[in-house]
Structure 1
Amino acid sequence: MPPPALVELLCDVSRATVHYEVRDDRGRTMDTLKVVPDPEGGYLAVYHCGVGRGMFEVHVATSPDLATWTSRARLDAFASQPHILGLDDGGFLVAIEAGGAGTPPWLRLLDYPTRADLLAGTAARTFDAPHTLVPRRKYAEGTPNIYSASADRERIEVGFHYFRRGRVDRQGRGVLEGFSEWSATPEPYIDSALERWGVRGNVGGRDAFRWDGREYLLVEGQTEVHGWHTWRTYLYDVAEQSAWPLPILTHGGSAAIANPSVTLLDLPSGEPGLVVTAYLFHVGAATGEGGPMLFHRATGRPSAGA
C-alpha cells in the first residue's frame, strides 16, 4: 500500500491552495500544464491551448506565485501535451506530442541550452522520434514525459503512450542517444497494474517523482473505452509494479481527473512542498472546475530528494 501521508497530500484538494480553470495573462487556458522551478526565482510552466479545429499550440509561461502566469513564448505551433525537465546547467528539455487534428501524433524533443533560449522559444536542437511500436501513418505515439537526462543531454529517457492494436493507448518508454538514435519498448507492467483496477480504456499520460527514496508515477487511466467521464488518476509504485486509484477530492466533487503531473519544489511561502496539476474533463466536472487545475501544499520535508 502507498504511504497514507503521500496519498493525503495528493488527494485532499480542500486543504491545498488551489486554482481551477488556470489561464495565462492572455486568457488562454493552460491545459496539461507542467510546472518546474525557475532558476531565476519563481516558476515556469509549459502547456497547450486550443487554436481551433482540434489543433493546439505549446507555450511557456512564468509565474512568481503559482497563481498568475505570464505568457513568454510559443514553443510549437502544431503540438500538445508538453513536459519540461530543468537541468543542472540551467538549460531545459521539453517533450511534446507533435501533430494531431487528423495526423497521427509523434514524439518531439526540444533542447534549450539556457533559460533565455526557452523564454524566446528558440531550441538549439529538435528531434522527431520515428514510430517504433505502431505504424506511423495509422496510429499515435504521444503524451510524453521526460524521466531523466544525462548531464550532457546525450542520453534522455522518455515515457509515452502508443495506440496498441488500434484500440487503446498503452505505455512505452524510449531512449534517445546522442540526440539522434531512438529506441523504444512497451511497458506492459504499468498497463497491467492499472488493468487490475478495471482500466479497460486508455492508459495515457504519466509523471515521475521520488518520495521517501521510492520512485512513483502518477498515471491517468480510463475505465471505459471512449468514456471521457471515466478518466481517473492512479499512483504507481515503480519497485512493486503496483498501482492504486487516487481518490482526489475537489471542492465540487469533479470526477474525471486526468493528465496528472507533480513536482516537488519550494512554495511561494518558502516552505518545501509539492504542486500537482491535472485536467478536469468537463463531462465529469463540477461547475467552475472544468479544465486545467493546479494545487499546491506544504510537505514539511525538503523538496529535493524527498
Structure 2
Amino acid sequence: MVLDPALIELLCDVPGATAVYCVRDDRGRTMDTLKVIADPAGGYLAVYHCGVGQGIYEVHVATSSDLAAWTWRARLDGFASQPYVTALPDGGFLVAVEAGGAGTPPWLRLLDFASRADLLAGKASRTFDAPHTLVPRRKYAEGTPNIYAVSADRSHIDVGFHYFRQGKVDRQARGVLTGFADWSARREPQIDQALEWWGVHGNIGGRDMFGWKGREYLLVEGQGERSRWQTWRTYLYDAAERTAWPLPVRTHGGSAAIANPAVTLLDTPSGEPALLVTAYLFHDGAAEGEGGPLLYYRALGSP
C-alpha cells in the first residue's frame, strides 16, 4: 500500500481537527456508533444507538446545524444497534441495523424510509430481516452493517456485515438484497487476511468505505486479542491492493482503544469540504474524559 500522508493526517490527527468527545443528543443520550451524513435539507443527520438495559439497545436519529449540538428526532428501531444510514436520490433514506441482542443472536435488518419527514418521524415504509446464510441462525451473529451502494430504484442494495465465524471471532462478509425480497451473501476473506497479517487475532467488525483521489478505501476495526477491549484498533484497507495499514490515531489524551469507525466526505458548517470521522473509544484504554463516541473533522483546503 502506498500511503498518502495527507490522508493519514486527516484520519489520525484528532488534536488538529475539530473534535467532540462523548457525543450526546439534547436528551442526554450518548450517540454510540454514530454515522453522520449531510442532510439534504441543510445541516446534518446522524443515526446512533444507546443502551436501555443489559445488552439491549435502541436506534435513534438526530439532526444538527453545526456537528456539535444534536437534536433528537425519533426512535427508528427497538432491540437494535450499530445503525448505518444513506440518503437516496429520490429524497428517501435507507437505514441498516443489527437487530437482536441480549442473548438473541443478532441479524441484519434494512429499513426503507420514503422521505426525510418519514425518517424524522421514525416511520419506515417497509423493512427486511435478512436470513442467516453464513452461520446458524439460532447460534451465531451476523451484524454491524454498512451500506456500500443502492440502485436508484432500491432494487439492488449492497451491504457489508460481519459473521461470527465458527462461534469464535467476527469476520467480514457482504450481502446483496434484490427487489427488497431476495438475500444472498458471501464471505470477504481478503479483508480478514489483510488485518490478520498485522496480528489481529480477535474480532474484525465494523467498516465504512470512502473514496480518496480515485481510490476506494475502507476503515475497518480490528481487535488484537479476543475479549480484550483495550486492543481494538482502526485499520485503513486499500480495496484495489487488498492490503491494510494500522492507523496511529492520536487523541488529545492518548486514548488507545479506537473502534466502530465511520467516515463521510461533506461540507463543514462554514461550507468547506471536509473529511469527517466518527468512532467509539472503549473505556478500557480511553484517556480520562474521552471514553465513548467521538466525532472529528478536518477541512480539505480546496473543493
- 1:185 CA displacement: 0.2
2:195 aligns to what SS in structure 1? helix
Q: Match of 2:188, as an amino acid? A: E
Aligned to 1:279: 280
CA distance in 1, matches of 2:298, 2:88: 24
Consecutive unaligned residues in structure 1, runs of 5 or more: none
- 1:4 CA displacement: 1.1
- 1:301 CA displacement: 3.7
- 1:300 CA displacement: 2.1
Within 5 A, what are the aligned runs for 1:61-80? 61-80=62-81
Whether the 8 Å CA contact 1:218–1:233 is kept in 2: the answer is: yes
1:23 aligns with 2:1: no
**Alpha-carbon spacing, 1:88–1:301, altered in 2? closer, same or farther (3 Å):** farther
Whether the 8 Å CA contact 1:32–1:278 is kept in 2: the answer is: yes
Aligned to 2:91: 90
What is the total number of aligned residue pairs between the two structures?
302
1:163 aligns to what SS in structure 2? strand
CA distance in 2, matches of 1:2, 1:151: 33
CA distance in 2, matches of 1:33, 1:299: 22
TM-score, normalization: structure 1?
0.98
- 1:54 CA displacement: 1.1
Aligned to 1:139: 140
Aligned to 2:212: 211
- Summarize deviations over 1:187-228 as a string: whole Å, max 9, x none: 000000000111000000000000001000000000101111
Whether the 8 Å CA contact 1:273–1:301 is kept in 2: the answer is: no
Higher alpha-carbon deviation: 148-157 or 84-93 = 84-93
Aligned to 2:47: 46
CA distance in 2, matches of 1:265, 1:243: 24
1:210 aligns to what SS in structure 2? strand
Aligned to 2:116: 115
Aligned to 1:225: 226
CA distance in 1, matches of 2:90, 2:215: 25
- 1:141 CA displacement: 0.0
CA distance in 1, matches of 2:3, 2:131: 36
Within 5 A, what are the aligned runs for 1:153-302? 153-302=154-303
- 1:90 CA displacement: 1.4
Q: Match of 1:286, as an amino acid? A: A
Whether the 8 Å CA contact 1:81–1:144 is kept in 2: the answer is: yes
CA distance in 2, matches of 1:208, 1:159: 10
- 1:100 CA displacement: 0.3
CA distance in 2, matches of 1:277, 1:6: 15
Q: Match of 2:141, as an amino acid? A: A
Q: Match of 2:51, as an amino acid? A: G
Runs of 4+ in 1 over 2 A off after TM superposition: none
CA distance in 1, matches of 2:109, 2:280: 22
CA distance in 2, matches of 1:301, 1:60: 30
CA distance in 2, matches of 1:132, 1:2: 36
Q: Match of 2:208, as an amino acid? A: D
CA distance in 2, matches of 1:208, 1:125: 25
Q: Match of 2:183, as an amino acid? A: W
- 1:2 CA displacement: 2.0
1:161 aligns to what SS in structure 2? strand
Aligned-residue Cα RMSD (Å) equals 0.6
Aligned to 1:36: 37
- Summarize deviations over 1:124-143 as a string: whole Å, max 9, x none: 11000000000000000000
- Summarize deviations over 1:97-146 as a string: whole Å, max 9, x none: 00001000000000011100100000111000000000000000000000
- Summarize deviations over 1:214-257 as a string: whole Å, max 9, x none: 00000000010111110000000000000000000000000000
